[in-house]
Amino acid sequence: MLSLRNLKLSFDGSQVLDDINLDVKKGEVVTLIGPSGTGKTSLLRCINLLERPDSGFISLGGLDYDYSRISKKEALNLRRKTAMVFQQYNLFKNKTAIENVMDAQMVVQKKSRKEAYEKSMQELKRVGLEAKVDAYPSQLSGGQQQRVSIARALAVEPEVILFDEPTSALDPELVGEVLKSIEEVAKSGMTIMLVTHEMSFARDISDKIVFMDKGRIAESGTPEEIFSQSTNTRTQQFLNKFYTAVH
Amino acid sequence: MDLQYMIGILPEFLSVIPVTLLIVVVSAVAGFLLSIFVAAVRIKKVPVLNFMTDLYISFTRSIPILLQLFLFFFGIPVFLQMLGFNVSNISAVTAAIVCLIIYNGAYMSEVIRPAYMAIEKGQHEAADSLGYNGLQKFTRIILPQMTPIALPGLGNALIHLIHDSSLVFAIGVVDIMGLATIISSGSFGMQQVEVFLTVAFVYWGISFASEQLIRYLERRKRRVLRRTGYDMTREAGYNV
């Protein structure tokens, strides 16, 4: 459903992503883990072209594009097939919760106000925020904002939702409610790509774990394969560091 | 102090207010449109044009407005002749308006540009990620957040413009100030204080009216700011 071939990205001469090949099946939850600065977030941002890869190919929901010569219109097409949940939520500050969820449906998908409203209410209910529909982002907690942003992503019915460290900016006591919403999304059959440092969550929710190191995919497999049976030294080092930090 | 005299000359001043208003309104509106273009060029860093707007802003900011008025009044016909138009002189009002549009365009662009820059990158990315095109993103997300930030600066620009317009008498425009110099020389310098005090009251009135307009807009602005939770002092570096 989503596949990346030979994707390369560099910033100012340094190679951020090197020859990435990745396949995501419909309804699959794929989680990217690995040390900071290994390009996990950059990889997500290449998919919706917030970063522009130097070369490579993407196919997503019936679209096939060559990254090295992608037009503005093609970029828009790709973006309209994806949605992103950001680390810093990035809700539109000038709009209420429900307006945040409605806007893209009306502006980008040209749905009627009524249709967009009903869809938005449904998605806000799904993340448990039907009581906060008229609140502005500034009146919501970080966890609530992130849940609105999940509803906003769901409402445009994308082929895949890209979660970019959705809980990293949250106070620890607010992480749970957001993870619960993500779990809901996963259960609904939505295709998900997730970057996170919540290892036990990744283990529970994912169909596939991708371990990234220094701009490359070092290893990928089922949670079981990566967390318990990995023979890759870098993976083991990373996970050991993580376990010692937790315990 | 001759109050009777002041009241006597007031209607004359009121009759030239339209001249001042014409100059102010046209320069404000056209200058604002120009400033949007200039700000856009500088934000997008359009090659060549960006360099030219830098030069333009530096020029208009560094040279006293009075000198600019003279340069435009005497310079525009020369410039037009160079382009092949057969123009020997232009009206003082035209020169004044052109000059103030150019001046105000530079001034206001430096209000609009920082207001645009104050919007977080995340707001752009959120709209981009949902597939908004440039225009949709700007009108739905960026502009509504920029407006309250830019308003106080634009209000100041308007007040400045009203004050600067009082200098156009120097190139012979009979606006409020121009009339004042005519009346005061007509009375052989006997009632200078009365004449200029009357002028002061007229400007006071005009500024007061425009302040009311800006206040009204700012009341709306505060409502928007309260909603967005935007902290003027922290995020834009200034407050009203």
Query: What are the tens digits of pLDDT across the range B44-63?
Result: 999 999 999 999 999 999 99
Domain assignment present for residue A192? The answer is yes
What's the pLDDT band for B87 if we cut at 50, 70, 90?
confident
Highest averaged pLDDT of the listed ranges A176-185, A222-231, B87-96: A176-185
Minimum CA–CA partner of B121 in chain A:
A90
B227 contact residues in A (CB cutoff 8 A): 94, 136, 138
Chain A nearest C-alpha distance from B28 (Å): 27
Q: A107 vs chain B: nearest CA distance in angstroms? A: 7
Query: For B123-158, how does the pLDDT look when each residue is reduced to its tens digit (9 = 90+)?
Result: 999 999 999 999 999 999 999 999 888 988 898 899
| Whole-number pLDDT of residue B156 | 87
Residues A68-106: tens digit of each pLDDT: 999 999 999 999 999 999 999 999 999 999 999 999 999
Chain A residues whose CB is inside 8 A of the B122 CB are 86, 88-90
- Pairing, β A160-164 against β A82-85: parallel
- Condensed to tens digits (0 to 9), the pLDDT of residues A141-181 reads 999 999 999 999 999 999 999 999 999 999 999 999 999 99
pLDDT at residue A205 greater than cutoff 70: yes
pLDDT tens sequence across A105-122: 999 999 999 999 999 999
Q: Check pLDDT > 50 for residue B31.
A: yes
Report the pLDDT averaged over residues A117-135.
95
Q: Which residues pair with A59 in a beta bridge?
A: A3, A64
Of A82, A88, A94, which is closest to B228 when you measure between CB atoms?
A94
Question: In this predicted model, which residue has the larger pLDDT, B228 or B67?
Answer: B67
What the block records as the tokens of A87 is: 């680390």
Label residue B39 by pLDDT band (50, 70, 90): very high
User: Could you tell me if residue A1 is inside a domain?
Assistant: no
Task: Give the CATH number of the domain where residue A59 resides.
Answer: 3.40.50.300
Kindly list the residues from chain B whose CB atom is less than 8 angstroms away from the CB atom of residue A84: 125-126, 129
Q: What value does the mean pLDDT of chain B take?
A: 88
Confidence of residue B210 (pLDDT cuts 50, 70, 90): confident
Amino acid residing at B217: L
> How does pLDDT run across A23-55, given as a tens digit for each residue?
999 999 999 999 998 999 999 999 999 999 999
For the cut 90, the answer to whether the pLDDT of residue B114 exceeds it is: yes
CB contacts < 8 Å between A and B, how many? 71
Of A83, A88, A89, the CB nearest to B130: A83
Closest CA to A63 of A4, A144, A124: A4
Q: What does the pLDDT read at residue B202?
A: 92
Question: Which residues on chain A are in Cβ contact (under 8 Å) with B128?
Answer: 48, 50, 79
Q: A83, B228: Cβ pair inside 8 Å?
A: no
A93 vs A85: CA distance, rounded Å: 15
pLDDT for the residue numbered B222 = 72
Domain boundaries, chain B: 3-236
Pick the CATH number of B3-236 from 1.10.150.80, 1.10.10.10, 3.40.47.10, 1.10.3720.10: 1.10.3720.10
Domain that holds residue A242: 12-18+25-92+160-246
What's the confidence (pLDDT) of residue B89? 78
Query: Is there a contact between A104 and B132 if contact means CB atoms under 8 Å apart?
Result: yes
Q: Which residues pair with A33 in a beta bridge?
A: A211
CB contact under 8 A, A76 and B145: no
Instruction: Return the pLDDT at A129.
Output: 94
* The two three-digit tokens of residue B21, written as one number: 């208003």
CA B93 to CA B103: how far, in whole Å? Answer: 15
B230, A48: Cβ pair inside 8 Å?
no
Domain total for chain A? 1
Query: How far is B117 from B128, CA to CA, in rounded Å?
Result: 17
Spatial neighbors of A73 by CB under 8 A, at least 6 apart, are none
Which of the four pLDDT bands, split at 50, 70 and 90, describes residue B238?
Answer: very low
Q: What is the 3-state secondary structure (H, E, C) of chain A?
A: CEEEEEEEEEECCEEEEEEEEEEECCCCEEEEECCCCCCHHHHHHHHCCCCCCCEEEEEECCEEEEHHHCCHHHHHHHHHCEEEECCCCCCCCCCCHHHHHHHHHHHCCCCCHHHHHHHHHHHHHHCCCHHHCCCCHHHCCHHHHHHHHHHHHHHCCCCEEEEECCCCCCCHHHHHHHHHHHHHHHHCCCEEEEECCCHHHHHHHCCEEEEEECCEEEEEECHHHHHCCCCCHHHHHHHHHHHHHHC
**Alpha carbon of B136: minimum distance to chain A alpha carbons (Å):** 7
Q: Does the structure's ipTM exceed the value 0.90?
A: yes
pTM of this structure: 0.85
Give the pLDDT of residue B40: 95
Label residue B237 by pLDDT band (50, 70, 90).
very low
Contacts of B120 in chain A (CB under 8 A): 90
Q: Do residues B26 and B19 lie in contact, with contact meaning Cβ atoms separated by under 8 Å?
A: no
Q: What does the pLDDT read at residue B227?
A: 65
Report yes or no: A154 and A166 within 8 Å, Cβ to Cβ. Answer: no
B122 → closest Cβ in A86, A139, A162: A86
* Count of Cβ atoms closer than 10 Å to residue A228 Cβ: 10
